[in-house]
Structures are given as structure tokens and as C-alpha cells.
Structure 1
Amino acid sequence: MELKFRENGEFSILAIADAQDTDNPQKETTDIIRYSIEKTSPDLIILLGDNIAGDFEGVTPKRTKAAVKALLEPISEKDIPFALVFGNHDHEGLTHKCGFEEKEAKLFLLEEFQKSPLCLAVKGECRSGVGTYNLPILSSDGKKAAFNLWLMDSGTYDCNGGYGFVQPDQTEWYRKTSDELKAQNGGIPVPSFLFQHIPVAETYRLMKQYPFYVPGSVTGGSKRFPGFYKGYKNRQGKFREAPCCSNTPNDQFESWKKQGDILCAFFGHDHTNDYLGRVDGIDLCAVPAAGYYSYGWNHGARSVTIHENSPEDYDTEILSEHSLLPYTVLPKYKQRHGYCEYKNRKPWQIF
């Protein structure tokens, strides 16, 4: 299935992050997906990791398959192609309760997603992770790749503590493939977006550090970033929690700068964030959580429209639950995501 700019020179993407629900998803989770599709009529949907809850009560391989099927139901209804990356929770039910190894679990999940004829996700050729690949978008006349989408498996957890990150072999694959696309494009980098679950540490450059709490600040989300932080370079959205990146420094962001093709990188993972800001000429953007089975109260999705003749002038909109749902979501008190500490709280109880 080829992706292609429309005759009007536009291509629209709907990014859905952290749907993170079970085989019996909450109505609100499904409705966020369904109503965001209806509102935006996207050409492509990207599932940005933690697509299912993973470890939920009574999880089995059969129920994991059912969770994938439930997630895809509103997408299949509209017959829209989708791609995906994995997060740090997708696999956990299979690994914690069903005896799978991590990679085996991700391959099991990918195979289930690929049963849909709308699925564009592939395993990819990298040794690390499952689902590191790219999707070219053809020009409206179909003659060349006018844009490119990078989809990266950002791992799960770091052996140094904290969360995972894109491994060196994945970054090397990105460099090599980026160079190949550049050569095919007459020596000019093909403008691109990148999608991965866990944000890069450079996101903290959109924030100002404080040695003490100030109104609106949040506690650093990694031992690399102690103290308190408050967003001050975000031109859209907010930092409602600190970015939870890896504790291990890596050269992924530097590779983006060197290749010169990535206009914006989109992340999930931090459920309540929806910031957009620029670091060294590259936009860094958060997609809020769509799911109501895990923590957070700033639910929604994000739409992006690429313009073929001026891709750097892309448009993006935060799709909040208040703009999507035809009803008000009231706070609920119940166990969520299979862990007692995850409770749905009223907004003033979140922090």
C-alpha cells in the first residue's frame, strides 16, 4: 500500500499515543480514537506506543490478541491505513504473565496487528527492537518520494535505570537509509517526520531548570535531570509532567542534526504532555494519551497536515477530549492499568 499526497498537495496524519487499554476498553478510549478520526479524516494513523495496556488482570495471549482487535475496531470501521511503534508497556503482559521474552512478545503483537490489511508496520532490519522502519510518501504526481516518515522502536527500560532509547544499530540504520533517500533525491535530504514512544533527552532544552519548586514546574523525570523544570520554549501546548527519557546519553538527536532531514519528532509516553518546541532547528512534539485505563487527565490525540510544496510549514493541532467528545468525562475512582498506584483522580489531585 503506497502513501501519496492528495491532488491538493496535502497529506494528513492522526497520531494516537498511549491508548493503553485492555480487551474490554473503556468507552472513552474508543471514543477518543473514533471521534478524532471522524474530525480529521486522516490519510494515515500512527499508533505511538503503549498501544495496549500489556499487563492487565487476567491477561493471556488470547486476551492480548483481543486487546489489539478492540484497539483497531474504530480504525477498521473507517478503512484508514495505520502504522505503529511499540512503547514500554505493550509487551509486559506477555513477558510478566505468559512466559514470553521481550522480543518474542513484540513479534507476537506485530503479527496480530499485521493481520489487518490496513497495517503498514513491519519488523524492520535492525537487530535491536521490533518495528524500526520508514514509510515514504509519494508526490501527488506519484513520481518521487516527496516526504518520509521514520518509525523507531525506542525500547522499554534502560539497564542504567529509567526508560529505553534508540540503540546504536538503529541510529546507524537511520543514517544509512537517510543517505540512500538523499541520493535518490538528487543529493537533497528528503524532508521527514520521526515517530517514537520515548522522548529524547534534548526535550529538556525546551525547559528551564530551577533548584526549587516554582509555580508550574515539575520534578525532573530522569536522574540525568534533577531539580525542577518548567517549559518556556514551547510554542504550543504544555509540559504537565517532566519528560521521562533514558538515563543513558546517546547520539540519536545529533544524528538528526547531521542528516538534516527531520523537521519534527513526535513522542508519546508522558501522558499529560502536549508541548511543541524547537531545538537546534528540529521541532520536538508530544502527543497526549488517548487512553483512560492509565494515569493522566489531559486525554486526546494530535493531527498533522503536511504540505507537499512547503513541508516545513506543516500544521498540527492538539485534539483534546473537550473538543472531541460529545459528553463530559467525570472523574472515576478505580484501579487502572493493573497497578494499585494508578488511580483516576480529579485534576487537582494529579500533582
Structure 2
Amino acid sequence: MTRRIVRTACQLAVLTTFSFVIIFFLDNRFRVLPYALHNVMPAHHAGLVVTDMTVTTCSRVNLFTSCKLDANEWHRIEKDLYLGSGWVSSAFVHVKRKKEEELLPNEKIVVDVKVGRIDPSNGQTGDGRDQWESRPAGLWLKRSEKRHSRGSKAVTAVDILFGADAVDPRPGWDTVGTPLLLDTSGEVQEAQLSVRRGNPPTPPKAVPRIRDNGKFKIMQLADIHLSTGTGLCRDAEPPDLNGGKCEADPRTLEFVARLLDDEKPDLVILSGDQVNGETAPDAQSAIFKYAELFVKRKIPYASIFGNHDDEGSLPRAQQMALIETLPYSLSEAGPEDIDGIGNYYVEVLSRGGSRHSALTIYLLDTHAYSPDEHTFKGYDWLKKSQIDWFRQTAQGLKKAHEGYTHIHMDLAFIHIPLPEFTDSTLPRKGRWREGVTAPGFNSGFKDALVDEGVVLVGCGHDHANEYCSLASNEAGNPALWMCYAGGAGLGGYGGYEGYHRRIRFFDIDMNEARISTYKRVEYGDTEKKIDEQIIVDGGKARPLQT
């Protein structure tokens, strides 16, 4: 009987291991790591302080090891420190938390965290009350009795980010700076602790507003394709820059930062593929990298998703839930009863203290891949529920916009281009370098935009296309400018005719209801405004000027 039990246990162990290997390969084939199945955002609760932390490591093939501790005492942060890539090992950070008012008189709280091989207290003098304590993976804690913490803010929450370039834009949060000491295979798997001290207040929602001179500038940032970690460059131009050494994300973010400082936009529209899902096993780390640029400069930003954003660790809904909480983010999930995540609008208020809208910016989710590949190959399309929502919303806002004393204008942004972008007979300015990968099915969104008076729609998706083309209404009059932004990220492809990454701007003058647009490049003539043109004047689409 005993032999039978042992033999059965061994068979189960082998079966479990074999099953995991099969699942691992299938998941990679479909670009979903096992880690993604368990990745949820860490829970943070106001009024709690961290009293202890540790790291557990367990084996995937040994059923007698476990990465779980007593759930009544420990909270596990559900991020595998190996990002699901370890063939044998998994590891997790656990924290003990307690309400401040429930702390016992001599109970200790964590007031500082470091990572390293050497005791941080070496060479330091002190009374011994708050010496550093060692934990696995090179983790060191400084714990003090609350009454002896000498005014230090207690650690109130802990999170895990990944990559050598990890940053945390949330108020009160800071990365420790040194990755946990684990047996990982590369920079992407560098697990970094981020800790929050105190309970910083939630920053107020940003309110975009026309400047006192009547001007407003939008940066459209398309296809930055950020990874977990520094990322690999694709089709970098020139290929021999810095001896051919190129880290995609640092170079992309440096480019964006330079133009943020040069152009000083009032609003940034992220029009999809911010995250390169296939190279972002932790999407949160990628999102935080671009958000940090805007938070640091106090620039409002609004985002929609592309076809690559959710191919990694987090689906659209979880990504948007995270983005909504970040400072200066105007992003919203949108109504639950229509298709997609990220159908919403942003109102830009008139100058001064006015509560009237001067600009309305509609943002819609163009989804990803065709749901009917047999009939319509390629990419998905805007659904009837979205178009109905847009029409109803636009018509409902018209009365409210009547209070604005100047000409109100409506703009829209999507990721995947409309089928009308494929019309080569339309007047256009800018380069058409690659095939337009619009949906095979035309659901009629362009007609809805024209009917509701939207004067321009911007998109991304096809990185090396950077033209604006002009569509007309039924009477044959100029009605809608359709503009590609051009891809900005070195982590996405760019291999068409020596393509230099670029960013599009829309310079808006509400005094004249005029919109000008231009692009600036990452390398080459970096100071020049490329293809500058006026596309809207007097609140109406202006014919192409040659």
C-alpha cells in the first residue's frame, strides 16, 4: 500500500512537470507566458504599514516546495520574479502589513529598504536600535519601533517592476535602484522593488485648457513600442550610430523627452502600441516609463490601445485600470456597454476660468485583429456600438458647445487607419512609404466623422506612413483631414527607405479656429518642422495648399 502511494505521487509529479512544459510552449506560441495567467495588480490599502518583507523561492518540478506563506500573516505580491521564464524556479515577494492603530507598543515597522550583498550598516555608527536585517535575494530591511522611527515615513506598500530602466511615476513611490539578487538570465528579468512611503494624496485630475493667448498644442505620439527592460532596436537609422549599439527604449524616451522640452505641448495623445506586448512580459514597467515623462513635466496625456499593447502580461481592461490612476492621465475605459476598451472623449476648456469647451477630442478603440479572417483578412474595425456611441455623444454635446463664443472644433484619434486612408487619389502631403493595413471591412466611421463635423482624425499603426490626406463630403467640399503620425519608437519596425522616427504635432490657434500640423524627426535635421501645413481654417477643413 505504501509503495502504491509513493508510486502514485511520483507519477503525479512527472505528469505535472510534463503538463507545465506543454503549457509553457503553447503559451509562448500564442505569445502569453504562464506568468500572465497570475499577474494581477498588487493590492494597496490606506492606513496599513509594512512590518516585514521576505522572498520565497520554489521549484516548478518539486511538488514539496512552495512559494506560499501563511495568508493570514503574509500578503504575496502576485508577480513571479522570474517573469515566468524560469524553467525550474519561481520566486515571490511577501509582505506583512498591519493597521497603524493596531501596532503593539514594541512592534517594528519597515522604514527603509535596500538590496545588495553587503550589510548596509557596515561602517556606520548608531545605537543599534534600527540595524539592517537580512532577507533572501539580497534584501535588507531597516525596521524601527514606531516611536523610535525619528520622523521617517513608514513603508506602506511594495511593488515589483522589471528591467534596468524601471521607474515609478506614482506619487510617493521610489524604486530601490538595485535589482534583487536572483539567478536570472538577462536584463529584462531584473526585478526591482518599488516602495511607497506614507500615504500621499491622490493628485487632482488634470484639466486641459486653451492658453491665455488662444493657442493649444497637441503631440501625437504613435507606436513607441516599449518593452520590459531596455528593448532591442529594429531598423535603427543610421545603423552605425554609436558604433551600432542601440537600446530601443532609452533612445525612444530620450527622443520624446527632447521634443517635450522643445515643443512644450499642452496635451499628449498616445495613439496605440505604447507597449510592445511580445517583448513586455511586465506591461506595467513599460507603461510607467512613458508616463514618467509626462508626470515629471506635468503634461496631461490620453491614451488608446493598438494591436500590440495587450499581447504581453496585461489585457486592455487591466492596463486601462492602471493608467487611469496615474497622475496627469486623462485616459478612460469608457462605457461598458459598447465594444472595446478606451472609447471616450476629452474636453479642452476655453482660456481663463471659463467652463466652456473649446475643443472636443474623441478617442476610440480600433481593437486588433480581424474577428472574421476568412472573409476580411488583417485587422479589426470600429463596431456599430462604437459608432452609435460617437454619434449620440457628439450630438448631445453640441448644445453645451453653443455657449463657447468662438468656433468650437472636434478632433478624433484612433490606432488602425480607416479604409479611406488607402485612397491614393485623395490630395495629400507627406510620404506614403508602405502598404496601408486598414480593415478589410468598412464600418462607416469616416462618414460618421464627417456628419458630426470632426475636422481631423489621426492614426498610427503603419509606422513609415506619415501623410495627411483630405476627404470630401457628399457635396465634394473638403471635410476631413486624415493624418498618419509616423512611428516614433525604435522597438517597432521602420525599415522603409531609411525611415527616421518622427512625432507629429498639431498647433491649434483658437483665435482663428486654425490648425497647423508638422513633424519632427529623431535623427537628421532635428530642428526642422517637416511638411508644415495649415489643414483647418475658420473651423473647417482647408484644401491642400501646394
Question: Is the 1:52–1:71 contact (alpha carbons within 8 Å) kept by the matching residues of 2?
Answer: no
d(CA) in 2 for partners of 1:13, 1:186 = 24
Name the amino acid aligned to 1:197.
H
Name the amino acid aligned to 1:308.
M
d(CA) in 2 for partners of 1:238, 1:197 = 18
Task: Select 1:322's aligned residue among 523, 532, 537.
Answer: 523
| Partner residue in 1 for 2:268 | 45
Superposed CA deviations along residues 45-80 of structure 1, whole A, max 9, x for unmatched, are 111100010111xx53xx211111122222222121
| Partner residue in 2 for 1:225 | none
| Partner residue in 2 for 1:233 | 427
3-state DSSP of counterpart to 2:392: helix
Task: Select 2:439's aligned residue among 246, 250, 268.
Answer: 246
3-state DSSP of counterpart to 1:31: helix
Superposed CA deviations along residues 255-310 of structure 1, whole A, max 9, x for unmatched, are 112112x1110000000111012111100100111111121033111111111132
Superposed CA deviations along residues 80-130 of structure 1, whole A, max 9, x for unmatched, are 111001000000113xxxxx7xxxx10111122223111100111152110
Question: Is the 1:32–1:324 contact (alpha carbons within 8 Å) kept by the matching residues of 2?
Answer: no
3-state DSSP of counterpart to 2:219: strand
When residues 252 and 167 of structure 1 are mapped into structure 2, their CA distance, relative to the original with a 3 A threshold, is same
| Partner residue in 1 for 2:284 | 65
d(CA) in 2 for partners of 1:194, 1:264 = 6
Superposed CA deviations along residues 201-258 of structure 1, whole A, max 9, x for unmatched, are 11122x14xxxxxxxxxxxxxxxxxxxxxxx7212x1111122110112110111121
Structure 1 unaligned regions, length at least 5: 95-99, 209-231, 327-351
Aligned positions, number: 286
Name the amino acid aligned to 1:194.
A
Question: Is the 1:244–1:270 contact (alpha carbons within 8 Å) kept by the matching residues of 2?
Answer: yes
1:18 aligns with 2:228: no
When residues 29 and 10 of structure 1 are mapped into structure 2, their CA distance, relative to the original with a 3 A threshold, is same
| Partner residue in 2 for 1:182 | 398
Q: Give aligned-pair identity as a percent.
A: 26
Structure 2 unaligned regions, length at least 5: 1-205, 231-247, 473-478, 528-546
| Partner residue in 2 for 1:265 | 457
| Partner residue in 1 for 2:485 | 287
Question: Is the 2:456–2:482 contact (alpha carbons within 8 Å) kept by the matching residues of 1?
Answer: yes
1:299 aligns with 2:509: no
Name the amino acid aligned to 1:303.
F
The offset of 1:146, in angstroms, is 1.4
The offset of 1:168, in angstroms, is 0.7
| Partner residue in 2 for 1:132 | 343
1:33 aligns with 2:260: no
| Partner residue in 1 for 2:129 | none
3-state DSSP of counterpart to 1:13: strand
1:84 aligns with 2:303: yes
Instruction: Tell me the TM-score normalised to structure 1 length.
Output: 0.77
Cα RMSD between the aligned structures?
A: 2.0
| Partner residue in 2 for 1:193 | 411
Question: Is the 2:295–2:327 contact (alpha carbons within 8 Å) kept by the matching residues of 1?
Answer: no
The offset of 1:187, in angstroms, is 9.8
When residues 76 and 178 of structure 1 are mapped into structure 2, their CA distance, relative to the original with a 3 A threshold, is same
d(CA) in 2 for partners of 1:42, 1:170 = 29
Name the amino acid aligned to 1:124.
G
Instruction: Tell me the TM-score normalised to structure 2 length.
Output: 0.50
Task: Select 2:369's aligned residue among 138, 145, 157.
Answer: 157
d(CA) in 1 for partners of 2:225, 2:299 = 20
Task: Select 2:321's aligned residue among 86, 90, 111.
Answer: 111
The offset of 1:190, in angstroms, is 4.1
The offset of 1:320, in angstroms, is 1.1
Between Structure 1 and Structure 2, whose CA radius of gyration is higher? 2
Name the amino acid aligned to 1:199.
P
d(CA) in 1 for partners of 2:491, 2:256 = 14
Question: Is the 1:23–1:70 contact (alpha carbons within 8 Å) kept by the matching residues of 2?
Answer: no
Question: Is the 2:273–2:309 contact (alpha carbons within 8 Å) kept by the matching residues of 1?
Answer: yes
d(CA) in 1 for partners of 2:253, 2:340 = 28
Question: Is the 2:381–2:442 contact (alpha carbons within 8 Å) kept by the matching residues of 1?
Answer: no
When residues 272 and 298 of structure 1 are mapped into structure 2, their CA distance, relative to the original with a 3 A threshold, is farther
d(CA) in 1 for partners of 2:289, 2:436 = 29
d(CA) in 2 for partners of 1:323, 1:255 = 39
3-state DSSP of counterpart to 1:92: coil
3-state DSSP of counterpart to 1:136: strand
3-state DSSP of counterpart to 1:322: coil
| Partner residue in 2 for 1:228 | none
d(CA) in 2 for partners of 1:187, 1:36 = 35
Name the amino acid aligned to 1:14.
M
3-state DSSP of counterpart to 2:292: helix
